Amino acid sequence: AQSVTQLDSQVPVFEEAPVELRCNYSSSVSVYLFWYVQYPNQGLQLLLKYLSGSTLVESINGFEAEFNKSQTSFHLRKPSVHISDTAEYFCAVSGDSGYALNFGKGTSLLVTP
Amino acid sequence: DTGVSQDPRHKITKRGQNVTFRCDPISEHNRLYWYRQTLGQGPEFLTYFQNEAQLEKSRLLSDRFSAERPKGSFSTLEIQRTEQGDSAMYLCASSFVEGYGYTFGSGTRLTVV
């Protein structure tokens, strides 16, 4: 079975600073990887995904993540964060099931002025 | 495309009562999924449908949980004889058969008192 470990439960950062949210996965098969963002009292929104091809994937709001097969990682980065980026971020992995996603426990990103 | 709708947004019930939640997926999507999210955790897969067929239900938490998707449109998730441990956010998502473009609803928050 595939699983995800998000290494930081909380990440405080100042506005306009860079940030990295770490995600490691375990799997014996090819995987698809995802980052979702959840704002308070809302559902999850897909931020970006890696299915195949280029190992660097980008979102429309400045986030990027790099699939590293040798390190089994899919860390999320942003060079300069905004207050509005404050949210819970979830890394997820799929695998041979073809339908279910396995989520990490989430990382709470808190951006302060 | 109005997104995935879930109703109600919040439900408070007494222990032992039955509750039912509704999910209206994006109309073009064939697949519909139910997840549960408890405080401080990532979403946990429960079950999914492809059109009206429930193709995976072994991960429903107990026999008190059941789901239906009549006619392949909206879905309901029922919990019988609720327990305090059932308190959680119940999330619905939908997608096309191919790919992993999940769209999540805003969820139903259940509180069992």
Give the C-alpha separation, A55 to A85, whole Å: 23
In this prediction, residue B98 carries a pLDDT of 65
Residue of B nearest to A32 (CA): B100
Residue of B nearest to A10 (CA): B40
| d(CA A78, nearest CA chain B) in Å | 22
Which tokens sit at A58? 């980008």
User: Per the CB < 8 Å rule, is B45 touching A102?
Assistant: yes
Chain B residues touching residue A93 (CB < 8 angstroms): none
Residue B1 has pLDDT above 60, yes or no: no
| Residue B3 · residue A44 · CB < 8 Å | no
B14-47 pLDDT, tens digit each: 999 999 999 999 998 989 999 999 988 999 999 9
User: Per the CB < 8 Å rule, is A49 touching B100?
Assistant: yes
In this prediction, residue B2 carries a pLDDT of 73
Which of A1-5, A79-83, B54-58, B101-105 is modeled with the greatest confidence?
A79-83
A86-101 pLDDT, tens digit each: 999 999 998 666 678 8
In this prediction, residue B71 carries a pLDDT of 85
Paired sense of beta strands B108-112 and B10-13, if any: parallel
A23-64 pLDDT, tens digit each: 999 876 778 899 999 998 788 999 999 888 888 888 888 999
